[in-house]
Chains A and B, each alone.
Chain A
Amino acid sequence: MPAHPRAHPFMPNSVPAIKAELMAALGIDSVDELFAQIPQDHRLDRPLELPPALTSEAALSRHMRSLLGRNRSCADNLSFLGGGCWHHYVPAVCDEIARRTEFLTPVWGTPSSDLGRNQAWFEFTSQLGELLDLELVALPVYSWGCAAGHAIRMASRLTDRRKILLPRYLDPERRAVIETYCEPAEMPSHLEIVEVNGDPETGRLSLDDLRTRLDGETAAIYFENPSYLGQIESDAAEIAALARRHGAETVVGVDPVSLGVLAPPAAYGADIVVGSIQPLGIHMYGGGGLGGFIASRDEPAYAHEYPALMVSIAETTHEEHIFSLALMHQCSYGSREAAKDWTGNSTYLYAIVAAAYMTLLGPEGFRELGSLIVQRSRYAASLLDGIDGITIRFRDGFFKEFVANFDDTGRTVAEINKTLLDRGIFGGIDLSARFPDLGQSALYCVTEVHEQQDLDRLAAALREVCTR
């Protein structure tokens, strides 16, 4: 132990002489005097009991690494997990930009002192707007589920209606978030959720069922393209047309990495488009890599319903470009309980990372990425489909995810996934509890990180596991 307490590396004023100097300036003998506002009977009368301090970075690093050593990652194993958080390759440039101190550490400056950061935000919305073919893109919200929840509430306010149609085959995580945003039945502003069935043959939305659910009370139909089960919703234009006929808004959730090869939702009639920015160069972080976007046509009626912050290009007093927040008065910072929903700290660092990702890829990169994913996922499905006991549920028209059914193996997905895990493979998401009508099915996700040899290895392992 040192003879005197050491100054803490994070606290420059923890040097005793400096503390003494500050106290002398205030004419006090003890820091305790400064807390006179807090009544004695409010005070904690003992020191906190926390694990011992690791003020040495070397010791802390070792401690953290020993704990994290118990994790097994998708990078060191072969993972087929997706469903709303996806293992895509993160370019090194994205990690470099994500770690820039000027972007990483601050909170807020003036439009002039934040010029670069705000421009990067504008480049995020501008590039995403090109992928989406839409002119109005807000800064991101917490997640895709939160974006969908806000968009549905926007649609309800736009139409002054309270009935929301959701596809039955929707990610339970996102569905749960949307339900929270729709408020329980006791609340006067409750939104009623009505499910639309999936077509058992195609896995896509059942148009027949949709026709029976849509009516003059419907605020919005929300569906995803590709859907949770991976299907490309080829009836999307018909769905949007039906919604329009009933005066309902069409809200579409989309995977942005599909947009190099798939038509953007605006092309088939979507009014509000949401989705995840995580696949745009952001690590999964165990679910901490999520971020959601909201976009629409640039019409005042839509713009005036956004809860999220919006950054606009503008001019300085000297006709230079500058970037600043628009329509601040309608967000919760501007008008408290009168605001459109609420906003706060969100995922703005990821907006910059996603901007760099979109620039790196460019139009050809997105086309290559989408093509490669479609080919490799179809290849994987075709391999699995040839294995005794495994059936691919919806064989055609999927993007990066597909449903493999294991009913005829006589084993549960849970059992199969445990055995795969022993072989260093994370099998697809177990759908059996989420959608019992799909039997023992798993949602397999294949992206550009999976090479042919990985898919062959999966097939070999499954052949072994399923036929034992």
Chain B
Amino acid sequence: MTAKLRRYHAAVWDEPIVMEMGVPGRRGFHFPEAEAAVRDAIGTASDLIPSTMQRQSRPELPEMSEPDVLRHYLHLSQETLGMMGISLFGTCTMKYNPRLTENLAMDSSIADLHPDQDPDTMQGTLEILANFERMLCELSGMDHFTFQPAGGADAAYTHACVTRAYHAARGELEQRNQIITSIQAHPCNPATATAAGFEVLTLMLEDNGYPSLDALKSAVSERTAALMINNPDDMGIYNPEIKEWVRIVHEAGGLCFYDHANFNGVMSKIRARELGFDACMFMLHKTFGVSKGGGGPAVGAYGCSDELADYLPGRRIVRQGDYYTLRDGGHLSVGRVREYLGNVQQVIKAYAWTRAMGAEGIREASDISVLVNNYMEKELLKVPGLTRSHPDIEGWRIEMTRYSLGKLYEDTGVTVVDVSNRMVDYGVDAPWLSHEPWIVPQPITPEAGEMWSKEDVDYWIAVLRQVCEEAYSDPDLVRNAPHNQAVHRQGPTSLDEPENWAMTWRAYQRKRATRRR
């Protein structure tokens, strides 16, 4: 395996900040004047707005013509690597986003629908959502899904809310105020549990890569409200005792939530419900081919058993023969975690992706993601300075392996952030490191998935090897990276200090003027 490294350089436009652009009087967009009959009947706008409520000064927005606006934002898009390279961003399951569905979403049959339309006028959307709900039930063994949560974290929050409602209905909420999770669960699990009002108990990992049954047993009690856990975790380790975990938590009276962030490697292999879980979550913007948008709009599809159905948020789709209608949640429903039915257009894209894949395609995608991950692991372990997390655990990992560049750092002083800054110089997107807290030093977590060809994966490996070799031979080259991007690396000034941060142009202008004085 020898991949030739590309000669890459990011586009450099020295694009000004839009607030500095434009010329007074230029226009990018016109609205028509109100019609003569409207003006005659009604008068001017300023007659219609109470004088105390009228805007006194014009907003200081740029004044630009339409082609210049377009070119400005196109330049900014070109100054974004944006998966034009090879993105093996672990935990996020980078996928191909079929352009068919991206184009369809701009069609008025998806784009120009109002959520309060009569169900008669939304039969296409409702049918797709209802059918996709059945498909996710087949993938998980669950009985129901809601698409209202607007991301994976929102689905975790939904579970915390469902947990509240479930225990409240049984008169046990005041007593059951603890949610158990693990240090390897995504930070959104403890964060949403706390935001929903629960206390969080976090279990640490043992040498085998997951928390022990004894730790779990000592955590559960009559105060246990729920378990929120992922499996496999971000190290690619599957907890084989998970059924026993579920049994123990159920015995204590808690609910079990399966955070399926790492579903790609196990889809078609296992089903959350059959492992005993009461609820689970799929991220449609990760596993199901929906565009990520650099962080949303997203969907955390939340599935649950019949027992929890009455607690689900939002309106439910009901099928009556060939007709679909919407029914409000009953008195047990948690209400809303977000308005309306969720990011509907993203659900439609996920439905189309799943139809394009079919059962066989999904099985094959799972196989390929695990196959390629283990191939990568074999090759990456030859890279100087790199080790595998939990090196003593034998066997194949699932769809993702966490590595450490701790040795590289000890040997050269080059950090994983330096490595990341250097990798982009070769035209690959920055890799994922690790969620907080870092449980291995200088972590790096690639995930290949099924989208990237073997040639792409070989290229990515070659880049990481090259950068690690550079760290040994010329550490400053890596420490001062990037060299082939539009700008250099961020300077050392802390953005946690009020005098340094500036979240808007006007804040920046004021603070800069103060500094100059």
Contact = CB atoms under 8 A, between A and B. Distances in A.
A115 B356 contact: no
Contacts of B133: none
B335 A71 contact: no
Nearest to A172: B336
Contact of B336 (A37, A173, A363, A429): A173
Interface in A48-98: 48-55, 57, 60-61, 63-65, 67-77, 79, 81, 83-85, 87, 90-91, 93, 95-97
B304 interface: no
A270 interface: no
Contacts of B489: 110-112, 316-317
Interface string A131-172: 101111110001111100000010000000000000000010
8 contacts: A37-B395, A79-B117, A101-B77, A114-B80, A315-B490, A349-B291, A359-B28, A376-B34
A285 B113 contact: yes
B108 A75 contact: yes
Given A113-B424, A350-B297, A125 B124 contact: no
A321 B17 contact: yes
A83 B293 contact: no
Given A108-B430, A345-B295, 14 more contacts: A14-B450, A67-B128, A107-B92, A187-B177, A189-B197, A232-B50, A261-B49, A263-B55, A287-B339, A317-B490, A325-B495, A326-B501, A342-B191, A367-B58
Contacts of A61: 100, 104
B438 interface: no
B116 A359 contact: no
Interface stretch (B247-255, B263-271, B402-410, B465-473): B263-271
Interface in A15-58: 18-19, 21-23, 25-26, 31, 33-39, 41-44, 47-55, 57
Nearest to A237: B52
Interface string B49-75: 110111110111111101001101111
B162 to A, nearest CB: 11
Contacts of B339: 84-85, 143-145, 171, 173-174, 177, 287, 290
B365 A11 contact: yes
Contacts of A18: 453-454
Given A31-B370, A102-B83, A262-B54, A283 B18 contact: no
Contacts of B97: 104-105
A349 B49 CA distance: 34
B57 to A, nearest CB: 8
Contact of B81 (A87, A109, A374): A109
B58 A363 contact: yes
Interface in B113-142: 113-118, 120-125, 127-128, 131, 135, 138-139
Contacts of A131: 59, 61
A93 B67 CA distance: 9
B79 A116 contact: yes
Nearest to A27: B378
A116 B487 contact: no
B371 A34 contact: yes
B214 interface: no
A374 B357 contact: no
Nearest to A373: B45
B294 A117 contact: yes
B94 A107 contact: yes
Which of A283, A287, A315 lies at the interface centre, i.e. has the most chain B CB atoms within 10 A of its CB?
A: A287
Contact of A130 (B60, B101, B190, B266): B60
A365 B69 CA distance: 14
A234 B48 CA distance: 12
Interface string B387-403: 00000000111100000
A372 B31 contact: yes
Nearest to A356: B73
B194 to A, nearest CB: 4
A343 B153 contact: yes
Nearest to A327: B496
Given A38-B269, A112-B424, A372-B34, A125 B504 contact: yes
Nearest to B275: A42
Contacts of A367: 58
A160 B120 CA distance: 48
A363 B60 contact: yes
Given A107-B89, A356-B69, A382-B42, A51 B76 contact: no
